[in-house]
């Protein structure tokens, strides 16, 4: 994990940044530090290497790790599972409702649904609607197509 090997990872990244700076004929400079600084960190260091490590790299890394942990917390996983179950139930309810409405032609509904979904999600640069991009809409389209074929 990058947090456990912080010094090695930072050294590699700083060297890459130095190489990039040399290729653009710039130098790495540490911002001016004042006694009454309030809008950014004010860690007293002598070198730019240490300044960027303590004031930029470590806080950014910590923020990133916390946001990843928040994103994949247990309650977020449970909410996502509930959401997918609700989508499936909603699709089943819609299919039952559509079967009861005999005056709507399912083929017309499928065609309208395909046009609408492809204009929103697909057929740009050869891409089509995928299960991953829009799972609810994908299942709705699959269900209506299956219903059309069964009639």
- 1 domain-assigned: no
pLDDT at 120: 61
pLDDT at 148: 66
Say if residue 114 is in the same domain as residue 87.
Answer: yes
Q: How far apart are CA 15 and CA 139, in angstroms?
A: 49
pLDDT at 126: 46
Q: How far apart are CA 72 and CA 67, in angstroms?
A: 9
- On whether the pTM is more than 0.85, the answer is no
> Which residue has tokens 């400079």?
29
Say if residue 39 is in the same domain as residue 21.
Answer: yes
Average pLDDT of adjacent 10-residue blocks, the chain of 151 residues: 82 91 88 72 82 89 87 77 75 70 65 66 53 65 70 62
Q: How far apart are CA 109 and CA 106, in angstroms?
A: 5
Say if residue 23 is in the same domain as residue 67.
Answer: yes
pLDDT at 133: 58
pLDDT at 23: 92
Q: How far apart are CA 43 and CA 26, in angstroms?
A: 24
Contact 122, 114 (CB under 8 A): no
């Amino acid at each position: 994990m990058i947090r456990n090997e912080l010094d090695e990872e930072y050294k590699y990244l700083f060297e890459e940044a130095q190489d990039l700076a040399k290729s653009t004929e710039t130098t790495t400079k540490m911002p001016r530090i004042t006694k009454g600084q309030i809008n950014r960190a004010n860690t007293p260091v002598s070198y730019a290497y240490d300044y960027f490590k303590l004031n930029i790299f470590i806080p950014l890394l910590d923020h990133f790790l916390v946001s990843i942990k928040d994103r994949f917390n247990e309650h977020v996983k449970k909410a996502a599972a509930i959401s997918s179950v609700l989508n499936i139930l909603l699709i089943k309810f819609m299919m039952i409702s559509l079967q009861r409405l005999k005056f709507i032609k399912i083929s017309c509904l499928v065609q309208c649904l395909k046009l609408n979904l492809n204009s929103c999600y697909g057929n740009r640069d050869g891409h089509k609607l995928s299960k991953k991009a829009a799972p609810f809409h994908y299942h709705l389209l699959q269900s209506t197509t299956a219903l059309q074929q069964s009639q």
